Structure 1
């Protein structure tokens, strides 16, 4: 399956967004240029190998959005964590028969994102 090679997350509050994603997924943030309000995002896959990278920067337009699917071990577990951290569930766990489960959520910055769990037994 193709993977995300880069993603951008627009945020109104960069610290709040960093806290949300680092606490939820363990992502690391690095500010490569001190004068820019932009952070590089480092991720790992479920086996601990380097994953797709991305960026986090100030929202430039009201309708600017990010949408990517992030692989997790358990959609159910992450839906609970998302709500505890101030996010919202927009579409509950949904089976894609024979492939896995997905859910669509909203982060603390009003960005939609999906979570995906591989599971060939999904019905």
Structure 2
């Protein structure tokens, strides 16, 4: 079962967004890495997820996208496309994970993440 493990918040002003969520909700915002501000939304002993805030690209300038953990990003991408999704950013490799962005058949932005 694919589990929602993170959220990505895209903004054209990520510093302002980070200041807002930190001030209003008490989120802990870490220093940016690759322009991505990691976000902790609370205690790990309570239900909830963490995420990040970054400057949105042309194809996703503003909005929130969930990250779904998968066992095989390649197989999941294939299943998504076969079921009507469109790939926005194909499989990307980072130090500890693979990541891809899609739009589901009804227009929602989602991410797939496979930890190494």
TM-score normalized by the length of structure 2: 0.46
Higher strand share: 2
Superposition TM-score, scaled by structure 1 size = 0.44
